[in-house]
């Protein structure tokens, strides 16, 4: 199979779909890999390293999209990339379709086979291709929060760890999954006072065990969010209903009741955001203020630490990517229900229920389950 790796074009996105080590794996299985010029250069993966791994370097994205059987990327395709996709071609990348009608329409129109990293599952109820980036974003959320709490960056001038004689800052984390757990580790490491909310009692039990009394676990209700947000210096939004638009848990009213100069980091922004006042921002222009509260809503946070993130992402995407290439996408998905869960769009049909639930009416799209689509279309 011919695998194509274009350079990412989203704002300040320096990650790359395959590392040179990843290329070598595909080449070992006799696949051909084309990588766009300078695709990994910004994070120390040079064209020479890709050539040594067995890749061919191609100057323009258009040639890659025109020839490759499978495109391996990181971020959701931008409009100009969507327009280069075609029937019979596989796209393997993050998609986040539920909050993105424009991209959804373009992928449906392309006729391509579109597999979303974020909805591939494992047998432990996890999302193995989202997890590494959630680990990164969870850790970064606390760094970003601490930075914007500084006076010169618009914050209240609160040091999360406090100092002897001065109480630490209060961090509220809504959602105790991978992002939430990693944010909690960092916030506790800084010495902050941490509360974590989740709707899942089993998850709250696990968190209680993991952190052994060093943070407070609270069942997530409107009342709990209202109470803890009004006291917090930093709120981190980390909820997920897989594939679906994020529920708006922190309302405009809650934001109004927060302290002046407090910071909210909405990590769930890639699924539309879990704060009513959130709108996606970029690494170039990451924050804005609503009612005195600094909002950080960067939709590709791991792109900020692109070298670590690329390696972490490749560790997770490689085994599934090799299965797609070695067996062919259709057989690979029919053989593995977890990979099949990644199929969001196939030959012009939406094959992921939560996407149809979010956008079906607006775009007049019908849902067809992924297995039926593969077997019948
Ligand atoms: N902005 C960015 O750059 C990045 C964003 N993300 C996003 O972060 C979000 C969280 O991802 P993960 O931690 O991997 O998901 P996860 O599935 O591991 O955790 C989500 C948690 O939210 C909880 N939850 C659901 N509804 C809730 C509610 N009403 N109140 C409280 N908790 C609730 C679930 O029980 C679960 O424990 C996702 O939207 C993901 O796409 C992940 C990586 C990078
Ligand atoms: C998960 C995601 O949106 C990212 O890594 O950019
Ligand atoms: Mg206020």
Ligand 1 atom closest to Cα of residue 267: 1
**Residue 257 within any structural domain of the chain:** yes
Distance (Å) from CA 113 to ligand 1 centroid:
26
Q: Are strands 234-237 and 263-266 parallel, antiparallel or unpaired?
A: parallel
Q: What is the mean pLDDT of residues 327-352?
A: 98
Q: How far is CA 146 from CA 182, 225, 268, 329, in A?
A: 15, 21, 18, 43
Domain identity same for 148 and 267: yes
* DSSP-H helix ranges across the chain: 20-28, 47-53, 61-67, 79-82, 101-110, 131-148, 178-190, 201-211, 222-231, 252-256, 306-327, 329-335, 337-340, 353-363, 370-376
Query: pLDDT tens digits, residue range 21-56?
Result: 999 999 999 999 999 999 999 999 999 999 999 999
Counting the structural domains of the chain, the total is 2
Domain boundary among 299, 332, 347: 299
- Sign of the Cα torsion 86, 90, 95, 98 reads positive
CATH of the domain at 234: 3.40.50.720
**Pocket around ligand 2: residues whose beta carbon is below 6 Å from it?**
75, 94, 130, 133, 270, 300, 302
Q: Same domain for 105 and 242? A: no
pLDDT of residue 356: 97
Residues 220 and 79 in one domain: no
Per-residue pLDDT band at 236 (split at 50, 70, 90): very high
> Could you identify the residue written with the tokens 């100092």?
163
Contact predicate 103/82, CB 8 Å: yes
One domain, residues 290 and 327: no
Query: pLDDT tens-digit profile of 13-29?
Result: 999 999 999 999 999 99
Distance 76 CA to ligand 2 centre (A): 9
Q: Among 264, 280, 299, where does a domain finish?
A: 299
Angstrom distance (rounded) from CA 335 to CA 329: 10
Q: Which residue has a Cα nearest atom 6 of ligand 2?
A: 300
In this structure, the answer to whether residues 78 and 173 fall within a common structural domain is no
- Of 100, 193, 266, 270, the catalytic one is 270
User: Does residue 75 have a known ligand-binding role?
Assistant: yes
pLDDT tens for residues 155-176? 999 999 999 999 999 999 999 9
Q: In the structure encoding, which two tokens stand for residue 94, read together?
A: 């993050």
Q: Taking the model in full, what pTM does it have?
A: 0.96
Are 168 and 265 found together in one domain?
yes
What pLDDT is stored for residue 337 in this prediction? Answer: 98
Active-site annotation holds for 270: yes
| Mean predicted confidence (pLDDT) in 355-365 | 95
49 inside domain: yes
Q: From the CA of 118, give the closest atom in ligand 2.
A: 1
Q: Under DSSP, is residue 326 helix (H, G, I), strand (E, B) or coil?
A: helix
ipTM of the complex: 0.98
Ligand 1 pocket member 305 (CB < 6 A): no
SS (H, E, C) 99-142: CCHHHHHHHHHHCCEEEEHHHCCCCCCCCCCCHHHHHHHHHHHH
Beta strands 113-116 and 343-346, pairing class: antiparallel
- Of 11 and 308, the one with more pLDDT: 308
| 262 in any annotated domain | yes
Residue 224 covered by a domain: yes
Q: Model confidence at 373, in pLDDT bands (50, 70, 90)?
A: very high
Verify that 73 and 168 share a domain, yes or no. no
- When pLDDT is cut at 50, 70 and 90, the band that residue 132 belongs to is very high
278 Cβ closer than 6 Å to some ligand 1 atom: no
* Residue 96 annotated as catalytic: yes
Gap from CA of 141 to ligand 3 centroid (Å): 21
Residues 166 and 259 in one domain: yes
Could you tell me the residue range of the domain that residue 249 belongs to?
131-299
Q: Which atom of ligand 1 is nearest to the CA of 268?
A: 39
């Amino acid at each position: 199979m011919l695998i194509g790796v274009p350079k990412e074009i989203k704002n300040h996105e320096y990650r790359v779909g395959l590392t040179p080590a990843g290329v070598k794996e595909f080449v070992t299985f006799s696949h051909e890999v084309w990588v766009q010029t300078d695709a990994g250069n910004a994070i120390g993966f040079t064209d020479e390293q890709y050539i040594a791994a067995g890749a061919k370097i191609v100057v323009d994205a258009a040639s890659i999209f025109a020839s490759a059987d499978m495109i391996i990327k990181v971020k959701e395709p931008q409009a100009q990339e969507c327009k280069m996709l075609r029937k019979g071609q596989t796209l393997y990348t993050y998609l986040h379709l539920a909050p993105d009608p424009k991209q959804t329409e373009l992928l449906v129109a392309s006729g391509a086979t579109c597999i979303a990293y974020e909805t591939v599952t494992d047998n432990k109820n996890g999302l193995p291709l989202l997890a590494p980036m959630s680990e990164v974003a969870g850790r970064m959320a606390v760094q970003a929060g601490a930075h914007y709490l500084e006076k010169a960056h618009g914050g209240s001038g609160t040091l999360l760890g406090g100092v002897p004689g001065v109480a630490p800052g209060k961090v509220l984390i809504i959602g105790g999954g991978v992002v939430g757990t990693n944010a909690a580790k960092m916030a506790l490491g800084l010495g902050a006072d941490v509360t974590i909310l989740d709707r899942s009692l089993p998850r709250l039990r696990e968190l209680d065990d993991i952190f052994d009394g060093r943070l407070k676990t609270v069942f997530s209700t409107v009342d709990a969010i209202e109470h803890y947000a009004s006291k917090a210096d930093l709120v981190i939004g980390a909820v997920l209903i897989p594939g679906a638009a994020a529920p708006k848990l922190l309302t405009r009213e809650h934001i109004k009741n927060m302290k002046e100069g407090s910071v909210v980091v909405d990590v769930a922004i890639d699924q539309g955001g879990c704060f009513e006042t959130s709108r996606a921002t970029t690494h170039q222009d990451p924050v804005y203020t609503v009612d005195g509260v600094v909002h950080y809503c960067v939709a590709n946070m791991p792109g900020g630490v692109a070298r670590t993130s690329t390696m972490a992402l490749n560790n997770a995407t490689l085994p599934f990517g090799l299965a797609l290439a070695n067996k062919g996408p259709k057989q690979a998905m029919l053989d593995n229900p977890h990979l099949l869960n990644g199929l969001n769009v196939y030959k012009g049909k939406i094959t992921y229920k939560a996407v149809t639930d979010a956008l079906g009416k607006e775009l007049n799209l019908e849902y067809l389950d992924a297995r039926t689509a593969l077997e019948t279309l």
